[in-house]
Structure 1
């Protein structure tokens, strides 16, 4: 199956990081005298580092530059991951299971430093042929840039790629890239109904994502 690929998201798919991101960003905004809006967390999901740092600096805070915001938040996240990676159940097994018949890629909204840290800590870095951070493309999710870049680096057409996503913007991004999408929603951050409808299959958890399922979904493309 070398001409087919599986592209994982990181946050919310392999690691339960959205609560950590929210806690860290909320804490930073509060300490800096800013305001956290009701829709802030939903808006942040899928943004690139440049995008969310600018949003925090310009819309929620009054004073720090986007560069200062990004540095401080990422440093706090790095320290949290150094203590413990919030690995989701079945994540490592799912990566290893998919790596046997498929080429693997990863497209994440996390900065490069955190992607490399997490994949190294959980021992699966060598299984991914290509990893892309939205720092490295023009637009973050829901734009398709990251997924298109991963497919190009893997030398696999998007239509022959299955993406595994959890968030509304992630689902939109992978679908816009022309990939078949498997949704593995997180209960505390459920995707919008219209975004979930873009998925070819919705799985209850990573254990339900098998090579047979991916093969079936890709064959229907």
Structure 2
């Protein structure tokens, strides 16, 4: 519950960009399970505190981190491959939204351009949101890639291909704001991890943190933290500060 006046709640964004795992979809637990299964497949033990350090990290970077922290750098590619395979199997069997995510997205839909900026593979984001009935509310989905393809709402720059680096680089959020047609400082990022908060701040967006507030100084970079997206004060803010408009276009 929000217990004090917050400057963010006196502001009206022109677009909202959501993280996916841990913010919209309850997939962070699948990543944790997948990491544990990948470690076990190679007879390795997760280092203390690894789950928190890996939260929000791109899966390829996570695979390398798993190898480095277990002193098995030669297993980086194998651990990355195993991590993604386990995660895809888990999320396909059990897609679920985070508390309040569906209501919050549907309330914003039609009022503002909405986008997703995620470190997950595009297929995972598309399928997860589709199963949850939320895909049609988002005009753009931005994920890391070597050369940004036209699919999924990620478009090449007018003067050539655009490189989109994973969080904590600012690329996914900067690209999402541009595709929504607003300057970064006019857009709100919704995040659950320190990695994502750093990415959004570096891109110039204001940040709403959701879920348990992480330990560490990085959490203070978010403008506001709420326990869930179903916070009554948060929903009242949307109704009061975000003007309605015609129904947003999109697809499932």
Q: TM-score range by the shorter chain?
A: 0.7 to 0.9
Contact 1:97/1:211 (<8 A) preserved? no
Q: Which whole-Å deviations, capped at 9, do the CAs of 1:18-61 have from their partners, x for residues lacking one?
A: 22211111121122122311132222122223211222234436
With structure 2 as the length reference, what TM-score do the two structures score? Answer: 0.75
Taking the aligned partners of 1:211 and 1:144, their CA distance within structure 2 comes to: 30
Q: In the alignment, what sits opposite 2:219?
A: 196
Structure exhibiting the larger radius of gyration computed from Cα positions? 2
Partner of residue 102 from structure 1, selected from 112, 118, 129: 112
Alignment CA distance shift 1:182-1:37 (3 Å): same
Structure 2 residues not aligned, in runs of 5+: 1-12, 147-162, 243-252
Report runs of 4+ in structure 1 exceeding 6 Å deviation. Answer: none
The structure richer in helix per residue is 1
Aligned residues: 212
Residue in 2 aligned with 1:154? 180
Contact persistence 1:25–1:73 (CA under 8 A): yes
CA distance 1:65–1:31, change in 2 (3 Å): closer
Structure 1 gaps, min length 5: none
- After alignment, is 96-105 or 85-94 more displaced? 85-94
> Which residue of the partner structure matches residue 145 of structure 1?
171
What's the TM-score, normalizing by structure 1?
A: 0.84
Q: Answer whether contact 1:34 1:61 (CA < 8 A) is retained.
A: no
**CA apart distance, 1:100:** 2.2
Shift in CA distance, 156/38, structure 1 to aligned 2, threshold 3 Å: same
Partner residue of 1:62 out of 69, 72, 77 = 72
Of 21-30 and 49-58, deviating more is 49-58
Paired residues of 2:209 and 2:226 also in contact (CA < 8 A):
yes
Determine the structure 1 residue equivalent to 2:208: 182
CA separation of 1:31/1:50 partners in 2, compared to 1, >3 Å: closer, same or farther? closer
Match of 2:55 among 38, 45, 48: 45
Contact persistence 2:64–2:73 (CA under 8 A): no
Query: Aligned-pair distance for 1:71?
Result: 2.9
Structure 1 residue matching 2:221: 3-state secondary structure: coil
